[in-house]
Structure 1
Amino acid sequence: MQQCMIDESRPALSRRRLLQVAGAGALAAAADTALAQAPAARPGPPTTITTPPRDFSRGGAPTTYFWDPDVLAVDPAFEGLAQPNAAIQRLWTGALWAEGPAWNAQGRYLVWSDIPNNRQMRWLEDDGRVSVFRTPSGNSNGNSFDFQGRQLSCEHLNRRVVRYELDGSVTILADKFDGKRLNSPNDIVQHPDGSYWFTDPPYGGQLYEGAPDAAGGPSNTSGKINPRLGQPPEIGFYKRELPTNCYRIDPSGRVDLVVTEQQVPDPNGLCFSPDYKKLYIASTGKGPGDTGPGGKGDIHVFDVGTDNKLSNGKLFSDCMVDGVKCGPDGLRCDVQGNLWASSNAGRAVGYNGVLCFNPEGKLIGRIRLPEVCGNVCFGGPKRNRLFMAASQSIYALYLGTQGAGPG
């Protein structure tokens, strides 16, 4: 039989203290009962549109409650494409204007352009390290990797398209059409027949992203801008000579015109459907030196024939969402044929990011980012991660689908 020992060193519990403890317990019990009867509304996780807005830094509050609050299913079909327990992540920030993300499957790294800083950056998947990959880069914009794993880059400054060979040498794929210098190649994709297709708008004809025309050219009509300042000695002598077209580089090296400025003014991002039977092209706003109205911030689609001729061109989407113009830029397709387009809605908070359309052109989902998004690509070992180059930063989101095509 154990004896009950009394610790005389502890102060005795007074009647007043006993009532205080009992009263607190009663209040707590009453509160629990009330909450059980009428549950209090719980605030949702912060988003890009809350006040204060969501903090995307590593120190920010958790946001994933089996559906990221900034991943929006406009149509139930999108629920099978999104990954419900994956959050949007900001991988890096520090660019002046991030563009042209491309995934290298063999090296398991992401490369992108920081256009005004005249450099390319690289993010390593194994440890998340970011470093300068190539500088100078010719104020490169769009990048991609072809079926042989060679990097393709569109250079604003040098007004050309280049390929970085596996031995480290560089090949100029195109710098002229019909004897005239290109404007500022913007984005590029490869076709399985070995050809490369690229767009040539005029956006590199400005100080911030390349070099304006020589005095008297369309982007420097007054001649007051000196395009040679801070540039290599061969830069600053070109003038815009061509409309804003889309071209095909044949495996033989011949450059063919495939889409004219009249069909798609100021062409920007482009991509093929998974079966390569359709070509999507984003038409963005008026660029430096444009004398016409310029693009309207929409997406066009063409049928691709076996002879590489395009036909049945039509408007795919006007990119209007809730009455807000979500100007498209970079484009990529997933294996189901859905089109993922970057969205530049300017100061319309909550509409910058990514738009997802089904093959019929219906908007089915959105990804909201706190910055203007310029371009996207699929990557990761399983190609189920969407990388988004958005203004100063790189974001990533795991999905329930895979990207079509390399890079």
Structure 2
Amino acid sequence: MTRQQRNNQKEPRRDPNVSRRTLVQGLAASAAAAAVAGIGSALAQNAPAPVGPPTTITSPPRDFSPRGAPTTYFWDPDIIAVDPSFNDLAQPNTSIKRLFTGVLWAEGPAWSSQGRYLLWSDIPNNRQMRWSEDDGHVSVFRMPSNYSNGNSFDFQGRQLSCEHLTRRVTRYENDGTATVLADNYQGKRLNSPNDIVAHPDGSYWFTDPPYGSQLYEGEPDAAGGPVNPAGKLNPRIGQPAGFVPFKRELPTNCYRIDPSGRVDLVVSEDQVPDPNGLCFSPDYKKLYVVSTGKGPGDSGPGGKGDVFVFDVGADNKLSNGKRFSDFTIDGVKCGPDGIRCDVNGNVWCASNAGRAVGYSGVTVWSPEGKLLGRIRLPEVCGNITFGGPKRNRLFMAASQSLYAVYTATQGAGPA
């Protein structure tokens, strides 16, 4: 029996009409059929679980699209309660749906409460996409997008975007103009802003790792920079006339943009290397910051796939920083990326488990760092947000696709 089959047996919540014995018998029947087809009984029993199809429940592989057959379970089989309290957060009579597929790398989902649409980035295609809530229509929202990554909306409904190509943070005003909020710190160009969140005091907090310094997701350093030391890459190819490439000049830090326009360093690379996703707790007294893997041009060890949490003081100073979790589940490193809190303070985080089939998707944690549940997707998940008219639908930007599932809770703060 494979590890994933054992994991299925341990799941605490299933349709009472579908027993674990029935599931195991079904899997055994499938294995026997494969043996008859010529694979061989020894191979069927001893070979490791295949990388694909990327689902650990259904056979044949589940179709997540709107055209797919409905699940026959009261609880979606790929929504797993690790702790019984997750039953109060997951919506029982709903299923995970793939809303769209066909992008190169989906990132930065953000919900517009005014427009009732979901915006997200397709980074390598240099565009932003929009899914409309009224009829499910998907269209290109903005192209070019300067290879935007993270997006969000502030308390005034204005879109915020982190741009890799221009190494800046931009706000799109309600009158149609655009404002550059930050492109440097103390006179040095930013690396590649990644994710951003708004604070009720009018400030914006964002992360600045180096992941946009790649051909695929932005532009490499100018010749001699850490990502292009030999100068063999030409960052001007494919860019508009007059484009000026820059060299990486700063460590990987987190910053706060004051309402006055001043940019302050709030989390240093020493505290959280390669910061990626970030979010506030519902009361804005805690800040969660994801530390992902070593980025291009890093001279140090880089991030290790952890999440850190800090107390936020009245003066916007952070203190008591500590590791929230290393995101290792059943011995599998479920690399965190995008992160959001619900109104109860639970932490929902995208999971990139690589080829560990069944562990990519979303992980859900209590404010104390206890794993509550998991949502399994057939693709690596990069980022998430809560949205929908009631803000009770979780949208998941996962590799080439956009997924969504209703929950029994609401996201905290604007998306």
Q: TM-score, normalised by structure 1?
A: 0.88
- Matching residue within 22, 43, 61 for 1:41: 22
- Equivalent positions of 1:229-244 (< 5 A) are 229-244=237-252
Q: Could you give the per-residue CA deviations for residues 59-85 of structure 1, whole angstroms, max 9, x where no partner exists?
A: 323215210000000000100000001
**What displacement does 1:52 show?**
3.5
Identical residues among aligned pairs (%): 78
Aligned to 1:278: 286
> Which has the larger displacement, 335-344 or 229-238?
229-238
Aligned pair count? 368
Aligned to 1:73: 81
Structure 1: 5+ residue runs without aligned partners? Answer: 1-39
Q: Is 1:168 matched with 2:176? A: yes
Give me the whole-angstrom Cα distance separating, in 1, the residues matched to 2:352 and 2:129.
22
Aligned to 1:324: 332
What's the secondary structure of 1:281's corresponding residue?
strand
Aligned to 2:140: 132
RMSD between aligned residues = 1.4
What's the secondary structure of 1:116's corresponding residue?
helix
Pair 324,150 (structure 1): closer, same or farther in 2 beyond 3 Å: same
For the Cα contact (< 8 Å) 1:47–1:54, is it kept in 2? no
For the Cα contact (< 8 Å) 1:282–1:300, is it kept in 2? yes
> Which has the larger displacement, 226-235 or 271-280?
226-235
Q: Is 1:194 matched with 2:175? A: no
User: Counterpart of 2:196 in structure 1: which amino acid?
Assistant: I
User: Counterpart of 2:110 in structure 1: which amino acid?
Assistant: A
**What displacement does 1:237 show?**
2.2
User: Counterpart of 1:206 in structure 2: which amino acid?
Assistant: Q
- Equivalent positions of 1:83-102 (< 5 A) are 83-102=91-110
Q: Is 1:314 matched with 2:322? A: yes
Give me the whole-angstrom Cα distance separating, in 2, the residues matched to 1:232 and 1:44.
57
Q: TM-score, normalised by structure 2?
A: 0.87
Give me the whole-angstrom Cα distance separating, in 2, the residues matched to 1:121 and 1:343.
22
Aligned to 1:295: 303
What's the secondary structure of 2:191's corresponding residue?
coil
For the Cα contact (< 8 Å) 2:255–2:266, is it kept in 1? yes
Aligned to 1:395: 403
Aligned to 1:55: 63
- Matching residue within 364, 367, 371 for 1:363: 371
**What displacement does 1:49 show?**
1.4
> Which has the larger displacement, 87-96 or 62-71?
62-71
Q: Could you give the per-residue CA deviations for residues 23-45 of structure 1, whole angstroms, max 9, x where no partner exists?
A: xxxxxxxxxxxxxxxxx936779
Q: Is 1:258 matched with 2:266? A: yes
What's the secondary structure of 2:408's corresponding residue?
coil
Give me the whole-angstrom Cα distance separating, in 2, the residues matched to 1:293 and 1:138.
29
For the Cα contact (< 8 Å) 1:189–1:271, is it kept in 2? yes
Q: Could you give the per-residue CA deviations for residues 126-153 of structure 1, whole angstroms, max 9, x where no partner exists?
A: 0000000000000000000000000000
For the Cα contact (< 8 Å) 1:104–1:110, is it kept in 2? yes
What's the secondary structure of 2:129's corresponding residue?
strand
For the Cα contact (< 8 Å) 1:64–1:87, is it kept in 2? no
For the Cα contact (< 8 Å) 1:227–1:235, is it kept in 2? no
What's the secondary structure of 2:93's corresponding residue?
coil
User: Counterpart of 1:59 in structure 2: which amino acid?
Assistant: R
What's the secondary structure of 2:124's corresponding residue?
coil
**What displacement does 1:89 show?**
0.4
What's the secondary structure of 2:86's corresponding residue?
helix
- Matching residue within 340, 343, 351 for 2:348: 340
User: Counterpart of 2:115 in structure 1: which amino acid?
Assistant: G
User: Counterpart of 1:308 in structure 2: which amino acid?
Assistant: N
Q: Is 1:142 matched with 2:150? A: yes
Pair 155,64 (structure 1): closer, same or farther in 2 beyond 3 Å: farther
- Equivalent positions of 1:15-34 (< 5 A) are none
What's the secondary structure of 1:110's corresponding residue?
strand
Q: Is 1:406 matched with 2:399? A: no
Larger Rg: 1
Aligned to 1:122: 130
Pair 272,64 (structure 1): closer, same or farther in 2 beyond 3 Å: farther
Give me the whole-angstrom Cα distance separating, in 1, the residues matched to 2:246 and 2:138.
34
Give me the whole-angstrom Cα distance separating, in 1, the residues matched to 2:146 and 2:54.
37
Aligned to 2:385: 377
For the Cα contact (< 8 Å) 2:386–2:395, is it kept in 1? yes
User: Counterpart of 2:55 in structure 1: which amino acid?
Assistant: T
What's the secondary structure of 1:41's corresponding residue?
helix
Structure 2: 5+ residue runs without aligned partners? Answer: 1-20, 28-52
For the Cα contact (< 8 Å) 2:385–2:396, is it kept in 1? yes
Aligned to 2:234: 226
User: Counterpart of 1:48 in structure 2: which amino acid?
Assistant: T
> Which has the larger displacement, 48-57 or 389-398?
48-57
Pair 115,47 (structure 1): closer, same or farther in 2 beyond 3 Å: closer
Give me the whole-angstrom Cα distance separating, in 2, the residues matched to 1:56 and 1:354.
16
Give me the whole-angstrom Cα distance separating, in 1, the residues matched to 2:385 and 2:255.
21
For the Cα contact (< 8 Å) 1:47–1:69, is it kept in 2? no
For the Cα contact (< 8 Å) 1:203–1:209, is it kept in 2? yes
Pair 155,87 (structure 1): closer, same or farther in 2 beyond 3 Å: same
User: Counterpart of 1:182 in structure 2: which amino acid?
Assistant: L
Aligned to 2:18: none
- Matching residue within 256, 279, 291 for 1:248: 256
**What displacement does 1:232 show?**
1.8
Pair 323,235 (structure 1): closer, same or farther in 2 beyond 3 Å: farther
User: Counterpart of 1:113 in structure 2: which amino acid?
Assistant: S
**What displacement does 1:233 show?**
2.8
